[in-house]
Structure 1
Amino acid sequence: MADPMPRVKVCGTTSVQDAVHAAQAGADALGFIFAPISKRLVSPQVARAAGLSVGPAVARVGVFLDQGLDEVLRTAELARVSAVQLHGPLSEAFVRAVANFYPVLRVLRPADLAAGAEVWAGVPAVTPMLDAPQPGGGVPLDWESLRETFPPGAWLAGGLGPWNVAGAIRVLRPACVDAVSQLEARPGVKDPAKVTAFIGAVRATTP
Protein backbone atom coordinates (compact mmCIF):
# COMPACT_ATOMS: atom_id res chain seq x y z
CA MET A 1 0.00 0.00 0.00
CA ALA A 2 1.34 3.43 -0.93
CA ASP A 3 2.13 5.90 1.83
CA PRO A 4 -0.55 8.58 2.26
CA MET A 5 0.11 12.03 0.90
CA PRO A 6 1.77 14.15 3.59
CA ARG A 7 -0.14 17.01 5.09
CA VAL A 8 1.11 20.59 4.74
CA LYS A 9 1.71 23.10 7.52
CA VAL A 10 2.42 26.74 6.69
CA CYS A 11 4.16 28.15 9.75
CA GLY A 12 4.97 31.68 10.87
CA THR A 13 1.53 33.00 9.94
CA THR A 14 1.07 36.56 11.23
CA SER A 15 -2.07 37.88 9.52
CA VAL A 16 -5.60 36.98 8.57
CA GLN A 17 -4.73 37.63 4.92
CA ASP A 18 -1.88 35.12 4.91
CA ALA A 19 -3.98 32.56 6.79
CA VAL A 20 -6.84 32.79 4.32
CA HIS A 21 -4.56 32.46 1.31
CA ALA A 22 -2.75 29.43 2.74
CA ALA A 23 -6.06 27.72 3.51
CA GLN A 24 -7.43 28.48 0.05
CA ALA A 25 -4.21 27.10 -1.48
CA GLY A 26 -4.78 23.83 0.37
CA ALA A 27 -2.81 24.03 3.62
CA ASP A 28 -3.87 21.50 6.25
CA ALA A 29 -2.40 23.43 9.17
CA LEU A 30 -1.19 26.91 10.09
CA GLY A 31 1.53 27.70 12.61
CA PHE A 32 1.43 30.74 14.88
CA ILE A 33 4.69 31.57 16.65
CA PHE A 34 4.43 32.87 20.21
CA ALA A 35 8.14 32.73 21.08
CA PRO A 36 9.16 36.31 21.98
CA ILE A 37 12.53 36.03 20.23
CA SER A 38 11.00 35.18 16.86
CA LYS A 39 10.87 37.61 13.94
CA ARG A 40 7.47 36.05 13.25
CA LEU A 41 5.98 36.69 16.68
CA VAL A 42 2.21 37.07 16.59
CA SER A 43 -0.23 38.02 19.33
CA PRO A 44 -2.79 35.50 20.55
CA GLN A 45 -5.54 37.85 19.42
CA VAL A 46 -4.30 38.02 15.82
CA ALA A 47 -3.72 34.26 15.78
CA ARG A 48 -7.26 33.70 17.03
CA ALA A 49 -8.73 35.95 14.33
CA ALA A 50 -6.63 34.24 11.66
CA GLY A 51 -7.66 30.81 12.87
CA LEU A 52 -11.33 31.70 12.94
CA SER A 53 -11.04 33.05 9.39
CA VAL A 54 -10.13 29.64 7.95
CA GLY A 55 -12.60 27.39 9.73
CA PRO A 56 -12.17 24.22 11.79
CA ALA A 57 -10.89 22.00 8.96
CA VAL A 58 -7.48 23.71 9.11
CA ALA A 59 -5.42 22.85 12.19
CA ARG A 60 -4.07 25.79 14.17
CA VAL A 61 -0.72 25.14 15.86
CA GLY A 62 0.75 27.38 18.54
CA VAL A 63 4.57 27.38 18.50
CA PHE A 64 6.48 27.90 21.77
CA LEU A 65 10.14 28.00 22.81
CA ASP A 66 11.30 27.57 26.42
CA GLN A 67 8.15 29.13 27.86
CA GLY A 68 6.50 28.20 31.14
CA LEU A 69 3.54 25.85 31.40
CA ASP A 70 1.11 28.53 32.52
CA GLU A 71 2.15 30.82 29.68
CA VAL A 72 1.85 28.05 27.09
CA LEU A 73 -1.62 27.01 28.23
CA ARG A 74 -2.90 30.56 28.68
CA THR A 75 -1.67 31.68 25.26
CA ALA A 76 -2.96 28.55 23.56
CA GLU A 77 -6.40 29.11 25.06
CA LEU A 78 -6.48 32.80 24.08
CA ALA A 79 -5.41 31.98 20.53
CA ARG A 80 -7.79 29.01 20.28
CA VAL A 81 -5.15 26.76 18.78
CA SER A 82 -5.89 23.09 18.18
CA ALA A 83 -2.34 21.83 18.87
CA VAL A 84 0.91 22.99 20.47
CA GLN A 85 4.44 22.76 19.05
CA LEU A 86 7.20 22.71 21.65
CA HIS A 87 10.82 23.71 21.01
CA GLY A 88 13.67 23.72 23.48
CA PRO A 89 15.27 21.49 26.13
CA LEU A 90 12.06 20.63 27.94
CA SER A 91 11.52 17.79 30.38
CA GLU A 92 9.40 14.79 29.53
CA ALA A 93 7.08 15.76 32.40
CA PHE A 94 6.54 19.23 30.91
CA VAL A 95 5.64 17.82 27.49
CA ARG A 96 3.24 15.34 29.04
CA ALA A 97 1.64 18.12 31.08
CA VAL A 98 0.90 20.11 27.91
CA ALA A 99 -0.34 16.93 26.23
CA ASN A 100 -3.03 16.64 28.88
CA PHE A 101 -4.67 19.65 27.22
CA TYR A 102 -3.53 19.69 23.57
CA PRO A 103 -2.01 17.38 20.97
CA VAL A 104 1.72 18.14 21.03
CA LEU A 105 4.36 18.32 18.32
CA ARG A 106 7.65 17.71 20.15
CA VAL A 107 10.44 19.24 18.10
CA LEU A 108 13.67 17.25 17.86
CA ARG A 109 17.04 17.94 16.26
CA PRO A 110 18.97 15.45 14.12
CA ALA A 111 21.44 14.83 16.98
CA ASP A 112 18.75 13.61 19.36
CA LEU A 113 16.32 12.14 16.85
CA ALA A 114 16.58 8.44 17.69
CA ALA A 115 16.53 8.69 21.49
CA GLY A 116 14.04 11.54 21.57
CA ALA A 117 11.60 9.83 19.23
CA GLU A 118 11.67 6.63 21.28
CA VAL A 119 10.45 8.51 24.35
CA TRP A 120 7.21 9.38 22.58
CA ALA A 121 6.55 6.06 20.89
CA GLY A 122 3.14 4.90 22.05
CA VAL A 123 2.08 8.29 23.45
CA PRO A 124 -0.90 9.17 21.21
CA ALA A 125 -1.00 12.87 22.15
CA VAL A 126 2.67 13.53 21.23
CA THR A 127 4.07 13.47 17.69
CA PRO A 128 7.81 13.88 17.01
CA MET A 129 8.76 16.66 14.61
CA LEU A 130 12.23 16.99 13.10
CA ASP A 131 13.56 20.51 12.56
CA ALA A 132 16.91 22.12 11.82
CA PRO A 133 19.19 23.14 14.72
CA GLN A 134 18.16 26.76 14.06
CA PRO A 135 14.43 26.76 13.24
CA GLY A 136 13.36 29.29 10.65
CA GLY A 137 16.89 29.65 9.31
CA GLY A 138 16.06 28.24 5.89
CA VAL A 139 18.88 25.66 5.86
CA PRO A 140 17.78 22.21 4.62
CA LEU A 141 18.68 19.06 6.52
CA ASP A 142 20.68 16.20 5.05
CA TRP A 143 17.71 13.91 4.53
CA GLU A 144 19.72 10.90 3.33
CA SER A 145 21.70 10.78 6.58
CA LEU A 146 18.41 10.66 8.53
CA ARG A 147 16.72 7.92 6.52
CA GLU A 148 17.34 5.21 9.14
CA THR A 149 16.40 7.21 12.23
CA PHE A 150 13.45 9.29 11.04
CA PRO A 151 10.46 7.81 12.90
CA PRO A 152 7.30 6.74 11.07
CA GLY A 153 4.54 9.28 11.45
CA ALA A 154 6.87 12.16 12.31
CA TRP A 155 6.56 15.67 10.87
CA LEU A 156 9.39 17.35 8.98
CA ALA A 157 10.60 20.96 8.89
CA GLY A 158 13.91 22.66 8.16
CA GLY A 159 14.61 24.64 4.99
CA LEU A 160 11.76 23.18 2.95
CA GLY A 161 10.56 25.07 -0.11
CA PRO A 162 8.81 24.46 -3.43
CA TRP A 163 12.03 23.31 -5.10
CA ASN A 164 13.17 20.67 -2.58
CA VAL A 165 10.13 19.35 -0.72
CA ALA A 166 9.57 16.53 -3.20
CA GLY A 167 13.02 15.11 -2.48
CA ALA A 168 12.44 15.30 1.27
CA ILE A 169 9.12 13.47 0.96
CA ARG A 170 10.58 10.68 -1.16
CA VAL A 171 13.50 10.08 1.22
CA LEU A 172 11.84 10.41 4.64
CA ARG A 173 8.11 9.93 3.96
CA PRO A 174 6.94 12.37 6.68
CA ALA A 175 3.35 12.59 7.83
CA CYS A 176 3.44 16.37 7.38
CA VAL A 177 5.85 18.91 5.89
CA ASP A 178 6.29 22.34 7.45
CA ALA A 179 7.74 25.46 5.86
CA VAL A 180 8.37 29.03 7.03
CA SER A 181 11.23 31.11 5.69
CA GLN A 182 11.21 29.72 2.14
CA LEU A 183 7.59 30.87 1.72
CA GLU A 184 8.11 34.50 2.70
CA ALA A 185 8.44 37.84 0.94
CA ARG A 186 10.13 39.02 4.15
CA PRO A 187 10.15 37.67 7.71
CA GLY A 188 6.58 37.39 8.92
CA VAL A 189 4.97 38.14 5.55
CA LYS A 190 4.12 35.29 3.19
CA ASP A 191 4.68 35.36 -0.57
CA PRO A 192 1.40 33.98 -1.95
CA ALA A 193 3.07 32.55 -5.06
CA LYS A 194 5.61 30.62 -2.97
CA VAL A 195 2.91 29.27 -0.67
CA THR A 196 0.87 28.08 -3.63
CA ALA A 197 3.93 26.55 -5.30
CA PHE A 198 4.94 24.74 -2.11
CA ILE A 199 1.54 23.16 -1.58
CA GLY A 200 1.32 22.28 -5.25
CA ALA A 201 4.72 20.57 -5.13
CA VAL A 202 3.63 18.47 -2.15
CA ARG A 203 0.38 17.41 -3.81
CA ALA A 204 2.23 16.45 -7.00
CA THR A 205 4.73 14.22 -5.19
CA THR A 206 4.32 10.47 -4.85
CA PRO A 207 5.81 9.33 -1.51
Structure 2
Amino acid sequence: MTVQVKVCGTTSVHDAVLSAEAGADALGFIFAPVSKRLVSPQVARAAGLSVGPSVARVGVFLDQPLDEVLRTAEAARVSAVQLHGRLSSLYVMAVAAYYPVLRVVRPADLATETDMWHGHRGVTLMLDAPEPGGGIPLDWDALRPLFPDGAWLAGGLGPGNVAAAMTALRPAAVDAVSRLEASPGVKDPEAVRAFVQAARLAARSYPQ
Protein backbone atom coordinates (compact mmCIF):
# COMPACT_ATOMS: atom_id res chain seq x y z
CA MET A 1 0.00 0.00 0.00
CA THR A 2 1.29 3.42 -0.94
CA VAL A 3 0.92 5.91 1.92
CA GLN A 4 0.67 9.58 1.00
CA VAL A 5 2.67 12.13 3.00
CA LYS A 6 1.36 15.69 3.32
CA VAL A 7 3.33 18.64 4.67
CA CYS A 8 0.89 21.33 5.75
CA GLY A 9 1.26 25.01 6.61
CA THR A 10 3.40 25.85 3.57
CA THR A 11 3.89 29.62 3.31
CA SER A 12 6.63 30.12 0.73
CA VAL A 13 8.06 28.87 -2.53
CA HIS A 14 11.24 27.93 -0.68
CA ASP A 15 9.43 25.62 1.73
CA ALA A 16 7.29 24.13 -1.05
CA VAL A 17 10.41 23.12 -2.96
CA LEU A 18 12.05 21.85 0.23
CA SER A 19 9.09 19.58 1.02
CA ALA A 20 8.79 18.31 -2.54
CA GLU A 21 12.49 17.50 -2.70
CA ALA A 22 12.15 15.64 0.61
CA GLY A 23 9.54 13.43 -1.04
CA ALA A 24 6.22 14.89 0.12
CA ASP A 25 3.23 13.87 -1.98
CA ALA A 26 1.09 16.87 -0.99
CA LEU A 27 1.45 20.39 0.35
CA GLY A 28 -1.11 22.18 2.49
CA PHE A 29 -1.80 25.90 2.14
CA ILE A 30 -3.82 27.40 4.96
CA PHE A 31 -6.34 30.10 4.03
CA ALA A 32 -8.11 30.31 7.40
CA PRO A 33 -7.61 33.88 8.69
CA VAL A 34 -7.18 32.70 12.29
CA SER A 35 -4.10 30.63 11.45
CA LYS A 36 -0.53 31.63 12.25
CA ARG A 37 0.32 30.00 8.92
CA LEU A 38 -2.06 32.04 6.77
CA VAL A 39 -0.89 32.35 3.17
CA SER A 40 -2.26 34.38 0.28
CA PRO A 41 -3.69 32.65 -2.80
CA GLN A 42 -1.00 34.31 -4.89
CA VAL A 43 1.86 32.88 -2.84
CA ALA A 44 0.18 29.47 -2.71
CA ARG A 45 -0.22 29.47 -6.47
CA ALA A 46 3.43 30.36 -7.01
CA ALA A 47 4.51 27.69 -4.52
CA GLY A 48 2.34 25.10 -6.22
CA LEU A 49 3.71 25.95 -9.63
CA SER A 50 7.25 25.62 -8.28
CA VAL A 51 6.83 21.91 -7.48
CA GLY A 52 4.95 20.73 -10.56
CA PRO A 53 1.75 18.72 -11.00
CA SER A 54 2.98 15.51 -9.36
CA VAL A 55 2.67 17.12 -5.90
CA ALA A 56 -0.91 17.69 -4.73
CA ARG A 57 -1.79 21.20 -3.57
CA VAL A 58 -4.39 21.29 -0.82
CA GLY A 59 -6.22 24.44 0.24
CA VAL A 60 -7.14 24.42 3.94
CA PHE A 61 -10.25 26.27 5.17
CA LEU A 62 -12.11 26.71 8.47
CA ASP A 63 -15.81 27.61 8.60
CA GLN A 64 -15.52 30.05 5.69
CA PRO A 65 -18.32 31.02 3.28
CA LEU A 66 -18.72 28.66 0.36
CA ASP A 67 -18.14 31.33 -2.28
CA GLU A 68 -14.93 32.41 -0.53
CA VAL A 69 -13.64 28.83 -0.45
CA LEU A 70 -14.31 28.27 -4.14
CA ARG A 71 -12.93 31.65 -5.17
CA THR A 72 -9.75 31.23 -3.13
CA ALA A 73 -9.23 27.64 -4.28
CA GLU A 74 -9.47 28.72 -7.90
CA ALA A 75 -7.11 31.67 -7.43
CA ALA A 76 -4.55 29.47 -5.66
CA ARG A 77 -4.89 26.69 -8.25
CA VAL A 78 -5.20 24.00 -5.60
CA SER A 79 -5.94 20.41 -6.56
CA ALA A 80 -7.97 19.53 -3.44
CA VAL A 81 -9.73 21.27 -0.55
CA GLN A 82 -9.44 20.45 3.16
CA LEU A 83 -12.44 21.50 5.24
CA HIS A 84 -12.35 22.09 8.99
CA GLY A 85 -15.24 23.20 11.16
CA ARG A 86 -18.92 22.64 11.80
CA LEU A 87 -20.16 22.28 8.26
CA SER A 88 -23.31 20.80 6.83
CA SER A 89 -23.22 17.83 4.49
CA LEU A 90 -24.72 20.04 1.77
CA TYR A 91 -21.81 22.47 2.13
CA VAL A 92 -19.25 19.67 1.87
CA MET A 93 -20.98 18.18 -1.15
CA ALA A 94 -21.08 21.60 -2.83
CA VAL A 95 -17.30 21.86 -2.53
CA ALA A 96 -16.90 18.24 -3.63
CA ALA A 97 -18.66 19.10 -6.88
CA TYR A 98 -15.54 21.09 -7.82
CA TYR A 99 -12.64 19.56 -5.85
CA PRO A 100 -11.72 16.35 -4.04
CA VAL A 101 -12.46 17.07 -0.38
CA LEU A 102 -10.57 16.12 2.76
CA ARG A 103 -13.23 16.38 5.46
CA VAL A 104 -11.48 16.92 8.79
CA VAL A 105 -13.16 15.36 11.81
CA ARG A 106 -12.45 15.26 15.52
CA PRO A 107 -12.32 11.99 17.46
CA ALA A 108 -15.75 12.60 19.01
CA ASP A 109 -17.34 12.90 15.56
CA LEU A 110 -15.45 10.10 13.81
CA ALA A 111 -18.15 7.42 13.95
CA THR A 112 -20.92 9.75 12.75
CA GLU A 113 -18.86 11.24 9.94
CA THR A 114 -17.67 7.81 8.82
CA ASP A 115 -21.28 6.65 8.43
CA MET A 116 -22.18 9.86 6.61
CA TRP A 117 -19.43 9.72 4.01
CA HIS A 118 -19.02 5.99 3.53
CA GLY A 119 -18.99 5.28 -0.18
CA HIS A 120 -18.87 8.94 -1.24
CA ARG A 121 -15.99 8.97 -3.70
CA GLY A 122 -15.45 12.72 -3.59
CA VAL A 123 -14.93 12.98 0.17
CA THR A 124 -12.08 11.46 2.21
CA LEU A 125 -12.01 11.68 5.99
CA MET A 126 -9.03 13.12 7.86
CA LEU A 127 -8.84 12.56 11.61
CA ASP A 128 -7.26 15.48 13.45
CA ALA A 129 -6.90 16.73 17.00
CA PRO A 130 -9.58 18.96 18.53
CA GLU A 131 -7.09 21.84 18.14
CA PRO A 132 -5.58 21.40 14.66
CA GLY A 133 -1.99 22.55 14.38
CA GLY A 134 -1.51 22.42 18.13
CA GLY A 135 1.03 19.62 18.05
CA ILE A 136 -0.85 17.37 20.51
CA PRO A 137 -1.03 13.71 19.43
CA LEU A 138 -4.22 11.66 19.57
CA ASP A 139 -4.73 8.44 21.53
CA TRP A 140 -4.20 6.19 18.52
CA ASP A 141 -4.80 2.89 20.32
CA ALA A 142 -8.16 4.08 21.66
CA LEU A 143 -9.21 5.20 18.18
CA ARG A 144 -8.23 1.96 16.43
CA PRO A 145 -11.72 0.38 16.48
CA LEU A 146 -13.27 3.49 14.89
CA PHE A 147 -10.66 4.46 12.33
CA PRO A 148 -12.03 3.82 8.82
CA ASP A 149 -10.11 2.27 5.96
CA GLY A 150 -8.75 4.87 3.57
CA ALA A 151 -8.80 7.75 6.07
CA TRP A 152 -5.98 10.26 6.54
CA LEU A 153 -4.37 10.99 9.89
CA ALA A 154 -3.15 14.27 11.38
CA GLY A 155 -2.81 15.62 14.90
CA GLY A 156 0.57 16.10 16.53
CA LEU A 157 2.49 13.93 14.07
CA GLY A 158 6.21 14.34 13.57
CA PRO A 159 9.38 12.38 12.82
CA GLY A 160 9.46 10.80 16.27
CA ASN A 161 5.92 9.42 16.44
CA VAL A 162 4.57 8.95 12.91
CA ALA A 163 5.68 5.30 12.81
CA ALA A 164 3.79 4.48 16.02
CA ALA A 165 0.69 6.25 14.72
CA MET A 166 0.83 4.38 11.43
CA THR A 167 1.36 1.05 13.17
CA ALA A 168 -1.73 1.65 15.30
CA LEU A 169 -4.16 2.95 12.69
CA ARG A 170 -2.81 2.12 9.19
CA PRO A 171 -3.88 5.47 7.66
CA ALA A 172 -3.85 6.00 3.91
CA ALA A 173 -1.98 9.27 4.42
CA VAL A 174 -0.29 11.24 7.18
CA ASP A 175 -0.20 15.00 7.63
CA ALA A 176 2.01 17.18 9.83
CA VAL A 177 2.52 20.87 10.57
CA SER A 178 3.86 22.12 13.87
CA ARG A 179 6.48 19.43 14.48
CA LEU A 180 8.05 20.20 11.09
CA GLU A 181 8.71 23.87 11.80
CA ALA A 182 11.57 26.04 12.97
CA SER A 183 8.90 28.67 13.77
CA PRO A 184 5.22 28.98 12.80
CA GLY A 185 5.05 28.98 9.01
CA VAL A 186 8.76 28.27 8.52
CA LYS A 187 9.80 24.68 7.84
CA ASP A 188 12.72 22.91 9.51
CA PRO A 189 14.45 21.07 6.64
CA GLU A 190 15.78 18.25 8.81
CA ALA A 191 12.39 17.65 10.42
CA VAL A 192 10.61 17.58 7.06
CA ARG A 193 13.06 15.07 5.61
CA ALA A 194 12.97 12.91 8.74
CA PHE A 195 9.15 12.90 8.76
CA VAL A 196 8.88 11.78 5.14
CA GLN A 197 11.53 9.11 5.62
CA ALA A 198 9.92 7.78 8.81
CA ALA A 199 6.50 7.58 7.13
CA ARG A 200 7.94 5.78 4.11
CA LEU A 201 9.72 3.26 6.34
CA ALA A 202 6.60 2.64 8.46
CA ALA A 203 4.50 2.07 5.34
CA ARG A 204 6.66 -0.94 4.48
CA SER A 205 5.11 -2.80 7.41
CA TYR A 206 1.59 -2.47 5.99
CA PRO A 207 -0.01 -5.72 4.78
CA GLN A 208 0.59 -6.19 1.07
Q: TM-score band, normalised by the shorter chain?
A: over 0.9
In the TM superposition, what whole-angstrom CA distance separates every residue of 1:41-84 from its partner, at most 9, and x where no partner exists? 00000000000000000000000000001000000000000000
Q: Distance in 2 between matches of 1:112 and 1:21?
A: 34
1:24 pairs with 2:21: yes
Flag structure 2 segments of 5+ consecutive residues without an equivalent.
none
* TM-score (ref. length: structure 1): 0.98
Residue 12 of structure 1 corresponds to 9
Residue 125 of structure 2 corresponds to 128
Q: Distance in 2 between matches of 1:136 and 1:123?
A: 27
* TM-score (ref. length: structure 2): 0.97
Pairwise CA RMSD of aligned residues? 0.5
1:112 pairs with 2:109: yes
Match for 2:140: what amino acid? W
Structure 2 residue matching 1:9: 3-state secondary structure: strand
Superposition deviation, residue 5 in structure 1: 3.4
Residue 56 of structure 1 corresponds to 53
Following superposition, which runs of at least 4 residues in structure 1 exceed 2 angstroms of deviation?
none
Q: Distance in 2 between matches of 1:204 and 1:95?
A: 34
In the TM superposition, what whole-angstrom CA distance separates every residue of 1:129-188 from its partner, at most 9, and x where no partner exists? 000000000000000000000010000000000000001111100000000000000000
In the TM superposition, what whole-angstrom CA distance separates every residue of 1:65-120 from its partner, at most 9, and x where no partner exists? 00001000000000000000000000000000000000000000000101111111
1:68 pairs with 2:62: no
Flag structure 1 segments of 5+ consecutive residues without an equivalent.
none
Residue 196 of structure 2 corresponds to 199
Q: Distance in 1 between matches of 2:143 and 2:123?
A: 20
Q: Distance in 1 between matches of 2:99 and 2:115?
A: 20
Match for 1:80: what amino acid? R
Residue 76 of structure 2 corresponds to 79
Superposition deviation, residue 6 in structure 1: 1.4
1:88 pairs with 2:82: no
Structure 1 residue matching 2:134: 3-state secondary structure: coil
Q: Distance in 2 between matches of 1:103 and 1:11?
A: 17
Residue 97 of structure 2 corresponds to 100
Structure 2 residue matching 1:204: 3-state secondary structure: helix
Structure 2 residue matching 1:177: 3-state secondary structure: strand
Structure 1 residue matching 2:58: 3-state secondary structure: strand
Structure 2 residue matching 1:201: 3-state secondary structure: helix
Percent identity between the two aligned chains: 73
Structure 2 residue matching 1:63: 3-state secondary structure: strand
One of 15, 30, 34 as aligned partner of 1:33: 30
